[in-house]
Structure 1
Amino acid sequence: MSTKKTKQVHDLNPIGMMRAKQVLELVPFGRASLWKFAKDGTFPAPIRVTGGITAWRNKDVIEWLEAQSAANDAEV
């Protein structure tokens, strides 16, 4: 049993950025899917901060998560 705490959307400050590891704590898919979905437009694209560092805007991730929740609520 894991004792890892999962971050909740309401805990996120919309100002700021997250690396992939932090994003993966919020979404129900893995690293490979994160990059695939970002590339095909299913998930917000990351921003290249410096040469080898990419990050996602918190605001974009929050909006995506809220849209997914609203879509799921509409289906029920």
Structure 2
Amino acid sequence: MLEQQHISEELSGTERFYRMSDLANIPERPARIHQYKSGINKGRARVIGERRASKGLIGVSEKTLWEWVRKGEFPQPIKLSSTITVWRATDIAGWMKSKEMEAKS
């Protein structure tokens, strides 16, 4: 499936990118209330919504992926800004092919 995407991207001249949330498993997080302890909002409460668990393309945790990047066992990411990090889909497809992996879904 990734190879078909890669071929169509080459033909159309567009490049696809993956974010960490696309690659890593994201654990479930229940809703909660955060109470500010200092600053301009001291004493105020903020509701932080729940987050459903999701299964990533690679099927491992974010921590594991960053460890692999640090060790050179996973493709290097591209920093688009201070808060946005992405990987080229072609790099991920090549890495998965070298590991003889299929996309987890």
TM-score, normalized by length of structure 2?
0.52
- Counterpart of 1:39 in structure 2 is 70
Runs of 4+ in 1 over 2 A off after TM superposition: 11-15
Partner of 1:60: 91
Letter of the 2:70 counterpart: K
Q: How many residues align?
A: 61
Q: Return the alpha-carbon distance in structure 1 between the equivalents of residues 98 and 84 of structure 2.
A: 27
Superposition map of 1:1-76 within 5 A: 10-11=1-2, 13-14=5-6, 15-24=15-24, 25-69=56-100
Q: Which has the larger radius of gyration?
A: 2
Task: Give distance in 2, aligned partners of 1:17 and 1:56.
Answer: 5
In structure 2, runs of 5+ residues without a counterpart are 7-14, 25-55
Identity within the alignment, %? 25
Q: What's the RMSD between the two structures over aligned residues?
A: 1.8
Q: Measure how far apart 1:28 and its partner are.
A: 3.0
The answer for unaligned runs of 5 or more in structure 1 is: 1-9, 71-76
Question: For the residues of structure 1 that align with 2:20 and 2:73, how far apart are their CA atoms?
Answer: 16
TM-score normalised according to structure 1 size: 0.70
The farther-off stretch of 28-37 and 10-19 is 10-19
Larger helix proportion of the pair? 1
